[in-house]
Amino acid sequence: MAISSTDLSNRIIEAVMARKLAPGTRLGEQQLAMLFDCSRTIVREALTRLAARGIVTVSARRGWYVIEPSEAEAREAFEARRVIETGLIRGTPKALDKAALKKLKAHLAREKEAVQGTDVGARSFLLGDFHVCLAECLGNSLLADTLRDFTARTTLIAMLYQASEDAARSCSDHVKIVAALEKGDLAKAEALMAEHIGAVQTHLRLPTTADPLAQLRDALAPVAAAAPSSRSPSPSHPDESSTYLGALL
């Protein structure tokens, strides 16, 4: 069966959440059309939809690319998630029903299995998708769709800024949040969610300099005035460019 533009955009979102598509990855229309045996019109529709959702960007000369969030966008994305997810829990009128709890616990079981396994893609996807699943179980499908996009963006941010996220800790945080919801302790669940998102953000290696010209200023400083150590890479900061390599779907 031919793939639709919606299916294709969902596949790209899933690949981002699984860390298979890195920030800055080029998404060629012709290559995607060949890969999925569909027309370039379908591909263009999917990419246009993703551009509107803030996942890809397009350049008249360079084509389509997965976004590379700036430092400011990284901070804004986590703040947006904190507001949405804590507000979602706070606005829950009652304790979760048995069906919702069963769905969340099943998701947690898959998370735990993935954390103990070797499939990094599945682990990354499930840890991110927990937040989407939670929104669905709390009865807000609109925010679930919004969180899917924000989760994809924060996954790209984590890849770009080399987050040292502890998957086991993230899974443990999720377990605690669900346990609080099961007890009907919404205040505790909200506090745990805020702490969880804050912990993930804290592990990002965001530059702390307040000078937007610092890097350019250092690069253009007179060579004779530069310290010897600045002429060669510091051994404490190895080249990590290989971390950004991602497989196209």
5-66 sits in which CATH class? mainly alpha
**Under DSSP, is residue 163 helix (H, G, I), strand (E, B) or coil?**
coil
Q: How confident is the model at residue 211 (pLDDT cuts 50, 70, 90)?
A: low
Tens digit of each residue's pLDDT (9 = 90 or more) over 157-205: 988 886 656 889 999 999 999 999 999 999 999 999 999 999 888 888 7
Query: Are the C-beta atoms of residues 132 and 148 closer than 8 Å to each other?
Result: yes
H-only helix segments in 92-185: 98-116, 120-137, 141-160, 167-182
71-202 sits in which CATH class? mainly alpha
Q: Which of 73, 166, 68 is nearest to 124 (CA)?
A: 166
Residues of the chain above pLDDT 90, percent: 67
Tens digit of each residue's pLDDT (9 = 90 or more) over 70-91: 989 988 999 999 999 999 999 8
**Which residue has tokens 């860390």?**
19
CA dihedral sign of residues 95, 98, 103, 106: positive
Main-chain dihedrals φ then ψ at residue 164, nearest 5 degrees: -100, 55
Tens digit of each residue's pLDDT (9 = 90 or more) over 96-131: 889 999 999 999 999 999 999 999 999 999 999 999
Strands 56-59 and 63-66, how do they pair? antiparallel
User: Where does CATH 1.20.120.530 sit in the chain?
Assistant: 71-202
User: Where does CATH 1.10.10.10 sit in the chain?
Assistant: 5-66
